[in-house]
């Protein structure tokens, strides 16, 4: 199905997700890392259909809320292939995770240790990982650099906080400490930060063995694998990542006399972002007195907050008609009551761009709909999947009736 046909059939804004592309990227990770466990990071984007695809392609699932956990469970995703993490898990999340018997829970704070231990059963210990901060700064924006001290996640290795968390967990018979977890950041396009993290985490594994006489069998390096949003931008080379991480993990363990632990990784964006396109209809073209041109569309920061939050940059294309007009610089803006509601500043579109035109924004599959809001009570867009030139709706458009249904009185 053509994108123009999808827009006519399902309306705009619309997110079009290529099922074959998602599955292909899942397989690429399994083939590059055959001895590792690959878990898809649900926070990038999750619905029942994507949970099915992920399960069928042999990946695990990384969830971080009761909503993601319940949706995945309702879709039939095997709980033993799930991992739950989050810096402030609710009692409801912990109880549900234990009831479902999820494969792993990532401990992110000292208070979680006795709370989880009290809920778990000593006869069936819950497998847990400890989220550590290796002191490695990586990622495209300060808000997503999560591998260093001074932010809300995990336990710093430097200073002994991580070692203290390990000691407390090992003292709980209802918890089975399986390994160490870290997540360095987002949109990482170089392998170097992961290698530095491995060195520091393996050193901590050696310290744990010396102090407690146990070797933990797993290391989770998280995700954050970068993809290009603009032409010429770098992306993380998966083959290079797999080879160099495997080599560094083996050499670091050999240096400390450790058995090589099982590796876990959690890609999200790298699997789903390039597989989707967002479609918008132009509503207004406004020419400012200083020559600035605003092209306002029927979506905006409610379905894609990333430009406003992180200064994220996108490409945009006119589709559905040919134009011989010279390109001109325009700001593609949203419909919301915020001056910062700018989707693509400085875009180059044909000079005859006009109301009714259809615009496509590629690489739209991650952290757009999953972070979407109902600002100005504008409903979130529909999502359709395409496969074999056929489209089917996965998520319907949110309507005013949906908002009204939440009203319980006045």
Which amino acids are annotated catalytic? 337
| CA separation for the pair 45, 122 (Å, rounded) | 35
346: exposed, middle or buried (Cβ count in 10 Å: 0-12, 13-18, 19+)? exposed
Residue 118: CB partners within 8 Å, gap ≥ 6? none
Cβ distance 7 to 16 under 8 Å? Answer: no
Reduced to 3 states (helix: H, G, I; strand: E, B; else coil), residue 360 is strand
Give the count of beta carbons closer than 10 Å to the beta carbon of residue 336: 17
What separation in angstroms does the CA of 346 have from each of 84, 99, 277, 308, 313?
40, 51, 20, 15, 10
Reduced to 3 states (helix: H, G, I; strand: E, B; else coil), residue 154 is coil
CA-based radius of gyration for the chain? 23
| CA separation for the pair 356, 263 (Å, rounded) | 50
Residue 99: CB partners within 8 Å, gap ≥ 6? none
Residue 258: CB partners within 8 Å, gap ≥ 6? 202, 205, 206, 209, 215
| CA separation for the pair 83, 363 (Å, rounded) | 26
| CA separation for the pair 177, 103 (Å, rounded) | 12
What separation in angstroms does the CA of 22 have from each of 25, 59, 193, 312, 363?
5, 12, 26, 22, 12
């Amino acid at each position: 199905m053509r994108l123009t046909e999808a827009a006519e059939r399902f309306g705009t804004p619309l997110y079009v997700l290529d099922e074959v592309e998602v599955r292909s990227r899942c397989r690429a990770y399994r083939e590059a890392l055959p001895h590792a466990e690959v878990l898809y990071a649900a926070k990038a984007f999750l619905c029942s259909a994507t949970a099915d695809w992920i399960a069928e392609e042999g990946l695990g699932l990384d969830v971080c809320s009761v909503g993601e956990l319940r949706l995945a469970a309702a879709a039939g995703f095997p709980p033993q292939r799930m991992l739950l993490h989050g810096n402030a898990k609710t009692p409801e999340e912990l109880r549900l995770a234990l009831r479902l018997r999820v494969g792993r829970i990532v401990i992110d704070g000292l208070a979680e240790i006795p709370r989880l231990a009290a809920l778990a059963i000593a006869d069936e210990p819950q497998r847990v990982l400890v989220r550590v901060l290796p002191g490695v700064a990586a990622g495209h924006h300060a808000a997503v650099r999560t591998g260093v001290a001074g932010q809300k996640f995990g336990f710093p290795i430097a200073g002994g906080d991580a070692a203290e968390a390990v000691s407390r967990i090992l003292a709980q018979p209802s918890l089975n400490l399986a390994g160490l977890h870290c997540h360095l950041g987002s949109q990482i396009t170089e392998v170097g930060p992961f290698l530095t993290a491995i060195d520091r985490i393996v050193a901590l594994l050696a310290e744990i063995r010396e102090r407690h006489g146990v070797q933990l069998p797993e290391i989770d390096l998280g995700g954050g694998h970068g993809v290009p949003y603009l032409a010429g931008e770098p992306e993380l080379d998966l083959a290079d990542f797999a080879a160099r991480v495997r080599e560094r993990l083996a050499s670091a363990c050999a240096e400390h006399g450790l058995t090589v632990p099982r590796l876990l990784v959690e890609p999200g964006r790298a699997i789903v972002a390039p597989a989707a396109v967002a479609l918008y209809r132009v509503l207004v073209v406004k020419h400012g007195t200083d020559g600035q041109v605003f092209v306002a569309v029927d979506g905006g920061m409610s379905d894609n907050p990333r430009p406003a939050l992180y200064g994220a940059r996108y490409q945009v294309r006119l589709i559905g008609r040919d134009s011989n007009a010279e390109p001109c610089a325009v700001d593609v803006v949203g419909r919301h009551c915020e001056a910062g509601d700018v989707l693509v500043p400085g875009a180059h579109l044909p000079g005859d761009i006009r109301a009714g035109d259809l615009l496509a924004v590629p690489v739209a599959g991650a952290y757009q709909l999953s972070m979407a809001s109902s600002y100005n009570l504008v409903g979130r867009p529909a999502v359709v999947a395409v496969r074999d030139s056929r489209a089917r709706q996965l998520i319907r458009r949110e309507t005013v009736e949906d908002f009204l249904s939440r009203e319980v009185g006045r």
